[in-house]
Each structure stands twice: as C-alpha cells, then as structure tokens.
Amino acid sequence: MRILQLNTYADPIGGAEVYALTLTRELRQRGHVVGFFGTSPKREVDDEHLRVVRRPLYDPLLLWREPAVRLALQAFVRRLQPELIHVHNVHSLGLDVLEALGALGIPTVQSVHDFNMVCPNSWCVRGDGSVCPGGIGAQCFQHGCQKNYPFDAEVVLHALLRHRALSCIVDVSICPSRSLAERMEHHGRKGVVHIPNTIEPIAGSGTDQRQAKELLYVGRLTPEKGVDYLLQALPLIREHDPEVHLTLVAGGSPSTKVVERVRRIAGVSLFLDVPRAELGRFYSTATVCVLPSIWCENAPLVALECLAAGLPMVASHIGGLPELVEDGVTGFTFRPRDPVDLAEKTRRCLALGTEARARMSAALRERSSRFQLAPHVTRIEQLYREVVRRQHGPVAPAIALDGDLLAVLEQLTREKPGGPGELRAPDRRRVLVARLRRVARALHLPKIFPN
C-alpha cells in the first residue's frame, strides 16, 4: 500500500512524533511505500519519500493560510500517489492546508495524540483545576481556563474550525486512551476507535542496579506537566527519609531561570538534552517514576516506557493515566495538584518490600505485552485496509474555508493589539467590534452587533 504520514513536526520532539516516525519505519519494513510529510525550524528536505518544509515551530500568522506548506503537500501527494493518508498532530498548520487535504478525496485516518481536538489549549482542565468535559466554544471563556495556559478568541476560533474541518475529512479517529475516545465521541466525532499506542523498550546497560530511594521524572519542565507540585512534595518525602533523591530528565528547552531554580534545590539532579536511546539507564536504576501532570494526559510515552522497564509509577489521577497506572498493581495514583497526596503515595511506593516490588515490576512488564510493536502495526494495517475499501471523494468542511474567509482571519491576526501590525486605536471596543463583524459576515452569521 502507498501511505502518507502527515505530522506538523518532522523531528522527534515529543511522543506523537516518535510514534509517527516509528510507524513509518515499521510499515516500510513490511513492504509498504510510505512517505512522511512534516515541518522543521532547522531543515528543508525534498526527497522521494520525505518532505520537510522549513518553518517556525509556531507562527500565529500561519494559522489561517500557509501557502508554502500547502503547495509542498500538494506536490508531495502528486509524487507519492498515496492510497491513504494518516494524519497525526496538525495543531499549528494553516487551515488552508486542511482544506487542501479534504479536496484530495483520499481515505484518511487520524491518530489523536492529545486533547487538542476537544480543547483549544489541550489541557481539558478548568481554571479551578477540575477536569472539563471538553468542547470548543462558549464554555472556553466561562470557567477561567486561560489561567492554565493563555489563549484568546482567535485561538479558540482556529481550534473550532480545525476540529470541524477534520471531522469532515477524517474517516477514522484513533484514540490511544479510552478517556479521549469517550470525549471525542461525546463531541460528535464519527468513526472513533480505541487502539492503545505501542512501546519500543529502551535498553539499559545490562549491569544497572535499581536503587532503593531514587525518584525519576522524565519530560518537559512546563506547567502542564506539574513538576512544581513534585518539587513541593519532595521536602515532605525527604522529611521522612533524607536519603531520597530526585532525578529530573528534562525534555524540550527549559528556560535558564527554571534550570537555575531546580539546581538550587537539595536532593535534586537535573539532566538536559538526553537522547531517547539513553533513557534506559534512568529507567533501570530508578525506584519510582513520578508523573505529576495537571492537564489531561492521553497515553504518555514515558508511562509506556515505564511499563516495559518494570518501573513502578506514581501518577496523577487524570486523563488516560489511570488506564496505565492501577493502584497497588503497577503503582499508585494521587489527586492532581495535591503535593501532600503525591508525597504520601510516593512514600507508600518507596516503602514496598523486596517481594512486593518484584511483583509490581512483573505486573508492569506483563501489562507492557499489550503494547507490543508488531501486533500494533498489524492492527493499523488492518484498519488501513478497512478504510481504503470504502467509497471516497473530495469533502467540503462544515464551514467553507474559502480564500475570503481565510484572508479575513489572517488580517484579524495582523491587527490584533500586541501582535504583528499592532493597532494603536484609542477605542479598543470599536476596533474589536469591527473585527468581529468582519468575521461574522465571512461566516454568514446573523447580525448580532448593533451599529
């Protein structure tokens, strides 16, 4: 089969990218012709089966129209002639790219790697910390959600139009967690299937010894990952046992301020820029891995890697994490944003005897067998065949993403105070209403603003 894998980013910067690249490799090894299309801030590639467009990681001016990416995608599709397109994360691609995707009339599936399809900032958590049922629209401004991660009406509008466009384009949505699958179905997405992600175990040195009092965190040092709550819990843990040590393996590009702050904390070691292939030594020597997330995780790669390594987890009871961490069997869960509960559950895990810890490690490795690579790829191949057998043709989004609408939205971004081409009009209300009127006319909405 000829298959196109499409993801915003072509480099392995997160779990979605690692999964998409791994799937591409495995499908090629099974004899499929697989092309990969993505973007990168560092490189431009135009090979037979790989197209990478150089562009920033994020640029608000590209959310509506991105002709360089759209034209490159159309040319790559003409060259590859795929029978099926597998979409992954497309959060920051221009809406015109999705319009072009729908116009191709090619069978399409999407792996939904996080909650962004039901929440504009991907958290699916309200300002008070309670879990949101999801749904992009009015409620995004009614519950203080901007406290978690700032967004405005423009971001919500882009997310809403992207969701509606993909709902028309995508034949089957693959959700790695039941939590996300249920939300997607609740909000009207058709063809939702729950297929857990796969694990590629990361080997240790073979001589590593698991420590008795070593906590591990692997991931970004960003607010949604809840590291601040872990650092608040650490003194409570060390009060009972000062020998407990925490290792942070930071992904992404943490700020200098964050790095300096972490390095001043007693009992903490920080590692930066660790290649994924070298994570095995951390997984094989730690006692417990802590996942303190305060947003709705889907099926984080770190949790799957802990399963394969037999490493017990202490994780927030949120999103898809409870599906991977069963209390007393593969670790313990705690109340999100509660450092006291986090500390208590971590102490409980550290206090396990040798036999109990061995049973937990065995249970983790047994669970990991459900996520093996070969059966997973076979299931994806089966899904591809089912989708290709259906009748397909070009589709139009629920709201026509024509050039006029995209031009209006792009201009809205340019005129936004504080953004490109900042407007310095004294009457902000008048300017805002004028912009909203233009968007309303483009969307053929009834007149809602008085003159």
CB contact set of 20 (below 8 Å; sequence gap of 6+)? 5, 7, 36, 86, 88, 111
C-alpha of 240 from chain center: 36
Tokens of 3: 């298959």
164 and 245 both lie in a single domain? no
Judgement on whether residues 52 and 174 belong to the same structural domain of the protein:
yes
- What is the mean predicted confidence (pLDDT) over 185-203? 91
Q: How many structural domains does the chain have?
A: 3
Q: Which of 193, 122, 131, 126 is nearest to 163 (CA)?
A: 122
Q: Does residue 347 belong to any structural domain of this protein? A: yes
Q: Are residues 365 and 415 in the same domain?
A: no
Which pLDDT does position 421 carry in this prediction? 39
Partners of 125 in the beta sheet? 131
Length of the chain: 451
Structure tokens at 42: 């560092």
Q: What is the pLDDT of residue 418?
A: 57
Q: What is the pLDDT of residue 251?
A: 87
> 268: domain CATH number?
3.40.50.2000
The Cα–Cα gap between 283 and 285 comes to 6
Question: DSSP assignment of 352-366, as one string?
Answer: --HHHHHHHHHHHHH
Q: What is the pLDDT of residues 213-269, one digit of tens each?
A: 999 999 999 999 999 999 999 999 999 999 999 999 998 888 899 999 999 999 999
Q: Residues 295, 414: one domain?
A: no
**Which phi and psi angles does 250 have, rounded to 5°?**
-90, 130
**What pTM was estimated for this model as a whole?**
0.86
Flag the least confident range among 86-100, 199-213, 221-235, 361-375.
199-213
Same domain? 271 vs 297: yes
Exposed, middle or buried: residue 414 (CB in 10 Å: 0-12, 13-18, 19+)?
A: middle
Residues 379 and 346 in one domain: no
144 and 238 in a single domain? The answer is no
Q: Which tens digits make up the pLDDT trace of 120-145?
A: 889 999 999 999 999 888 888 889 98
Has residue 123 been placed in a domain? Answer: yes
Mean pLDDT of 265-294: 95
- Most confident among 79-83, 129-133, 253-257, 354-358 (mean pLDDT): 79-83
- How many Cβ atoms from other residues are within 10 Å of residue 304's Cβ? 23
Question: Is residue 396 domain-resident?
Answer: no
Identify the pLDDT of residue 438: 60
In this structure, of 54-68, 216-230, 327-341, the range with the lowest mean pLDDT score is: 54-68
Q: Are residues 116 and 142 in the same domain?
A: yes
In a domain, 448, yes or no: no
Give the pLDDT confidence score for residue 333 in this predicted structure: 98
- pLDDT band at residue 371 using 50, 70 and 90 as cut-offs: very high
Same domain, 43 and 147: yes
Residues 414 and 380 in one domain: no
Residue-level pLDDT at 448 = 45
Q: Looking at the structure, do residues 113 and 17 belong to the same domain, yes or no?
A: yes
200 pLDDT band, cuts 50/70/90, is confident
Q: Is 206 part of a structural domain of the chain?
A: no
Question: Is pLDDT of 424 > 50?
Answer: no
What percentage of the chain has pLDDT greater than the value 70? 86
The C-alpha atoms of residue 361 and residue 356 are separated, in whole angstroms, by 9
What's the pLDDT score for residue 372? 94
Expressed as residue numbers, the domain containing 424 is 403-442
414 inside domain: yes
Instruction: Report in angstroms the alpha-carbon separations of 125 from 122, 148, 149, 159, 303.
Output: 9, 8, 10, 16, 21
Evaluate whether residue 412 is within a structural domain.
yes
